[in-house]
Amino acid sequence: MTMATTTTTATATARRYGRLLSYVGIGAIVLYCLAPFYWMVVSGLRRPSDQFATTPFPNPISFQNFQAAFSATNGFARALLNSFIVAGTTTVFTLAIGITAAYAIARLEFRFKNVVLAVIIATSMFPGISLLVPLLRLFVSLDWINTYQALIVPCMSFALPLTVFNLTAFFKQMPLELEGAAQVDGCTKWQAFRKIILPLAMPGVFTSAILTFIAAWNEFIIALSVTNEKDMRTAPVITALFTGQYKYDQPFGTQMAAGVAVTIPLVIGVLIFQRRIVDGLTAGALK
């Protein structure tokens, strides 16, 4: 009886230590991930004269960097608007095309279906920099330089393969009997898709939407190359092109403040939709 009690106590102690180590590991990962963002916030809240201080807290707190970032001369507010337009439009069109394409691949039977899906996935493996020169030549011939379509179309080409692949897996998990039952109740195929299948696929749709929005929001190299007017540049581009007071010094504080302003919308979006995002990322494993 004593040995059984000792064994039970040892097991409980081992579980407590294991749980403690898990919490320590999670805390270390969170600290590692958030430390750069924290330092960016701290740097943005320092005075320009304290920019290279190494203290963990700004003393005193100053909003001069944020005022400089949003000054009319920098055009940062317009750049944020451009980023919202580009990322939002890219997300809407990518989902509209990706949902229909994924549903067709998941439900229809046709020759070389796996080859088509493999080709779609393979297109996402090309690095963006390798497509820059062909895209520039194409956009110059189409007179698309300094236009929204020159910013949106490349983002869609990079986001669509991931969206199609993700949603195809979602639609394949759903039994065909769902649509059959809906059609027996009088629904057309389109109504069955819209009222039955699409709501069930919402976790995957939200996951694809937030990943597409983040990718389009953060896109830099193509946005830098296809725009040469300040009014058409996006937030990442305008942040990189900030100049200091004398046009030659590097305004690190202003760039840090702009980086905080660019990151906050993404953080808010992820926090609002985090449950659906987690559901979308784990649905395949759970089912």
136-193 confidence digits (pLDDT tens)? 999 999 999 999 999 999 999 889 998 998 898 888 888 888 888 888 888 888 888 8
Q: Say if residue 31's pLDDT is above 50.
A: yes
Q: Say if residue 34's pLDDT is above 60.
A: yes
Cα Dmax for the chain? 86
Q: What is the pTM of this model?
A: 0.84
Asked if residues 167 and 98 have their Cβ atoms less than 8 Å apart, the reply is yes
Which domain does 60 fall in, by range?
1-74+252-262
Asked if residues 87 and 213 have their Cβ atoms less than 8 Å apart, the reply is yes
Same domain assignment for residues 151 and 233: yes
Q: Say how many domains are in the chain.
A: 2
Same domain assignment for residues 108 and 174: yes
Identify the CA nearest to 98 among candidates 149, 161, 153. Answer: 161
Side-chain half-sphere of 58: how many Cα atoms within 13 Å? 21
Same domain assignment for residues 29 and 91: no
Same domain assignment for residues 79 and 5: no
- Per-residue pLDDT tens over the stretch 99-138: 999 998 888 888 888 888 888 888 878 787 888 888 899 9
Per-residue confidence (pLDDT) for residue 10, from 0 to 100: 67
Same domain assignment for residues 108 and 225: yes
284 in any annotated domain: no
Same domain assignment for residues 167 and 111: yes
Determine the average pLDDT of the residues in 40-67. 88
Strands (E), 128-200: none
Backbone angles phi, psi at 250, to 5 degrees: -90, 120
Per-residue confidence (pLDDT) for residue 185, from 0 to 100: 83
Same domain assignment for residues 100 and 134: yes
- Mean pLDDT for all residues in the chain: 85
Same domain assignment for residues 146 and 37: no
Residue 244 pLDDT class (50, 70, 90 cuts): low
Same domain assignment for residues 87 and 113: yes
Same domain assignment for residues 110 and 234: yes
